Amino acid sequence: MNSPQEDALTFPFADPPQSGRAVEVAPGVLWIRLALPFRLDHVNAWALDGGEEGWTLVDTGLDDPRTRQAWEELLEGGLAGRPVHRIIATHFHPDHIGLAGWLTNRTGAGFATSLTEWLYASLLSAGTSPALDAATERFYERAGLDSDTRGALLARRNAYRKAVPHVPVVMSRLRAGDRLTVGGADWQVLIGAGHTAEPVCLYSEAAGLLIPGDQLLPSISPNISVWPSEPDADPLADYLGSFAQLRALPEETLVLPSHGLPFRGLRARLDELGAHHEERLADVLEFCSTGRTAVEVAAMLFRPDLDTHQMVFAMGETIAHLNHLWRDGRLTRRLREDGVDVYRRAG
């Protein structure tokens, strides 16, 4: 979803910081922007001023030379040469945790995230296995992808390990309801769902600030995908169910997202995201009035010129919508003789 309703959100900061620079968005809270080599070309990180204790950094960017250079400049410049006390990863995706290993070694900082995100990152960073390769092959075969496309997707199987070569082996676990004190300011840990299994969000009631990771973005919908390791999952139900705790926050909360600009209009954005997924579900249900495979549904939902990286997420999100409709009884699923799942509207 790429176009929020006009005037539904307000953006108090028009221009992002340049690479290697930081901009203060609230007392003791710095906004850092790091480049990504993808269509989505940046990720935001946040630095919380802990006074004499040092900085708490939220997210790190990818592990690549450009991002390392940006952090070197920040450590000496924008962070005023003061120590880094703690590094928090909101979730296991490479643009958020990729440089955590290097930064903890570089700064001596501790590392914190939720247990599930740390375990996922550690598992994927260790590389693939024949059993996982076989499960992945079967997952995409059931989706209806041809053998050449399946081969291209399998060729990416060590992409995570290349992007995240080192996950910190020691961590502090963050749980829902935990409170972190940073420079006298309290931050409450909220745990989301759907985009990943146990993503970390941070909320400061006193400052009126929310750092949601990828759970709440101003202009795009977070990818909600099913993966080969859990092929019957319903992450869309998890994601939509996570809205309640965010909706309970004050509407004037300043949201500091991982992509895009800081914004106000939290509930309006949740409404937009919910409506977006309901619209997609309706489209999928209508399209499946005759039997359809996941690859056919993906072709209806997404543009045709996807590269391999984008195809992974498009298929995952397509199956997430199909699984949601299947699990609540609006679609049936039948395994065809050729080993491909066919979905049809129930009734």
Integer angstrom CA distances of residue 131 from 76, 142, 144: 45, 17, 20
Per-residue pLDDT, 12 = 98
pLDDT per residue as tens digits for the range 183-202 = 989 999 999 999 999 999 99
Give residue-wise pLDDT tens across range 296-305: 999 999 998 8
50 lies in a domain? yes
For residue 232, give both structure tokens.
Answer: 């019957």
At residue 84, the pLDDT reads 98
138-142-143 Cα angle (round to 5)? 115
Q: Give the mean pLDDT of 68-78.
A: 95
CATH code of the domain containing 42 = 3.60.15.10
Q: What is the pLDDT of residue 211?
A: 99
3-class secondary-structure state, position 51: helix
Rounded-to-integer distance, Cα 193 and Cα 37, Å: 26
Asked whether residue 336 is assigned to any structural domain, the reply reads no
pLDDT classification of 1: cutoffs 50, 70, 90:
very low
pLDDT digits (tens, 9 = 90+) for 36-71: 998 899 999 999 999 999 999 999 999 999 999 999
Tell me the average pLDDT across 209-224.
98
Distance (Å, whole) CA 164 – CA 62: 7
**Which of 26, 101, 108 is CA-nearest to residue 75?**
108
Residue 278 lies in a domain: no
Q: Is 80 helix (H, G, I), strand (E, B) or coil?
A: coil
Q: How many domains does the chain have?
A: 1
What is the mean predicted confidence (pLDDT) over 206-213?
98
Question: Is 314 inside any structural domain?
Answer: no
Q: What is the pLDDT of residue 2?
A: 47
Which phi and psi angles does 68 have, rounded to 5°? -60, -45
Q: Which residues contact 94 (CB under 8 A, 6 or more apart)?
A: 62, 63, 160, 163, 164
Is residue 240 within a helix (H) or strand (E), and if so which, with residue range? helix 235-241
Question: How much is the pLDDT for 5?
Answer: 55
pLDDT at residue 80 is higher than 90: no
**Closest of 34, 86, 40 to residue 61, by C-alpha:** 34
Assigned domain for 347 exists: no
The answer as to whether 203 is a domain residue is yes
Measured at the CA of 183, the angle between CA 178 and CA 188, to 5 degrees, comes to 20
Say if strands 29-35 and 42-49 run parallel, antiparallel, or are unpaired: antiparallel
pLDDT band with cut points at 50, 70 and 90 for residue 347: confident
Q: What is the mean pLDDT of the chain?
A: 95
Q: What is the pTM of this model?
A: 0.95
**Is 283 among the domain residues?**
no
HSE-CB for 116 with a 13 A CA cutoff: 13
Please determine, for residue 170, whether its predicted confidence score (pLDDT) is greater than 50.
yes
Residue 316 lies in a domain: no
Q: Containing domain of residue 102, as a range? A: 22-265
